[in-house]
């Protein structure tokens, strides 16, 4: 069992234009309205990728709030109201680079900057490959600043039979980092009951 959860965990889910919208969808599917306050921000290109990759569109939990990229009228845009965690999933290398450089010219970037300066959880889930030296240096900068880099590398030891099961091997790792219970996800060499 993961560490005890807070009554309500305030989470920002940011979605960029990197391929892998299904990771964001499966994360949103696993967050519950009774335990999580969910706020969603999409980058400029996220909508195009979602339209290509998710035929039914993005499904938000009923109580989730979505914000425009150009607004700064979101509670998490200020360090005076820091949230518990932010997950950028999938995270494009362009977004990752802008976060590493401290750019804050839209709500997604500003929110990531606030999470770092307030020493809150910032999880970046890049999916792109191969990596170049600039990407690796941006990873290093963000790790030193306190972010967690969690590449979307699925595992196979649980023998996933569907795309959703494969994606869930990554999503369960994201939830573990947020200290959210993942009893539904198989663990390596866990005894079966």
Domain assignments of the chain as residue spans, ordered by start: 9-177
Q: Up-side HSE of residue 40: CA atoms within 13 Å toward CB?
A: 22
Residue 32's closest CA among 3, 62, 58, 2?
62
pLDDT at 32: 86
Whether the predicted pLDDT of 180 surpasses 70: yes
pLDDT at 40: 98
| Span 143-155, average pLDDT | 97
Arithmetic mean of pLDDT over the chain: 92
User: Strand pairing partners for 67?
Assistant: 41
pLDDT at 2: 47
Q: Distance between CA 180 and CA 193 in Å, rounded?
A: 21
Task: Identify whether the C-beta of residue 82 lies closer than 8 Å to the C-beta of residue 46.
Answer: no
Q: Distance between CA 179 and CA 176 in Å, rounded?
A: 5
Confidence tier at 7 by pLDDT (50, 70, 90): low
| Span 111-126, average pLDDT | 97
CB-neighbour burial class of residue 192 (10 A; exposed 0-12, middle 13-18, buried 19+): exposed
Across 2-11, 14-23, 68-77, 179-188, least confident range = 2-11
Superfamily of domain 9-177: Flavin prenyltransferase-like (3.40.50.1950)
Whether the predicted pLDDT of 102 surpasses 80: yes
pLDDT at 34: 85
Select the more confidently predicted residue: 183 or 123.
Answer: 123
Whether the predicted pLDDT of 193 surpasses 60: no
Select the more confidently predicted residue: 76 or 185.
Answer: 76
| Residue appearing with tokens 């039979």 | 161
The percent of residues above 70 in pLDDT, for the chain, comes to 91
pLDDT at 5: 44
For the stretch 37-47, pLDDT in tens is 999 999 999 99
User: Strand pairing partners for 88?
Assistant: 14, 124
Whether the predicted pLDDT of 107 surpasses 50: yes
Alpha-carbon separation of residue 84 from 6, 36, 79 (angstroms): 10, 10, 12
Task: Identify whether the C-beta of residue 123 lies closer than 8 Å to the C-beta of residue 85.
Answer: yes
Alpha-carbon separation of residue 32 from 57, 68, 92, 167, 185 (angstroms): 19, 22, 26, 18, 16
Confidence tier at 184 by pLDDT (50, 70, 90): low
Task: Identify whether the C-beta of residue 60 lies closer than 8 Å to the C-beta of residue 15.
Answer: no
pLDDT at 19: 97
């Amino acid at each position: 069992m993961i560490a005890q959860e807070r009554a309500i965990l305030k989470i920002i889910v940011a979605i960029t234009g990197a391929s892998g919208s299904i990771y964001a969808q499966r994360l949103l599917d696993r967050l519950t309205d009774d335990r999580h306050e969910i706020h969603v921000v999409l980058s400029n290109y996220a909508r195009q990728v979602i339209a290509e990759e998710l035929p039914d569109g993005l499904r938000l939990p009923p109580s989730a709030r979505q914000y425009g990229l150009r607004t700064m009228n979101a509670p998490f845009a200020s360090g005076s109201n820091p949230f518990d965690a932010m997950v950028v999933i999938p995270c494009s290398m362009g977004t990752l680079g802008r976060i590493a450089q401290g750019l804050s010219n839209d709500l997604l970037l500003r929110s990531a900057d606030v999470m770092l300066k307030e020493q809150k959880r910032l999880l970046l889930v890049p999916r792109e490959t191969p990596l170049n030296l600039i990407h690796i240096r941006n990873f290093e900068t963000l790790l030193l600043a306190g972010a967690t880099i969690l590449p979307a590398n699925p595992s196979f030891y649980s023998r996933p039979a569907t795309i959703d099961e494969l994606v869930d091997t990554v999503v369960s790792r994201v939830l573990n980092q947020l200290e959210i219970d993942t009893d539904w996800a198989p663990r390596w060499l866990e005894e079966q009951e």
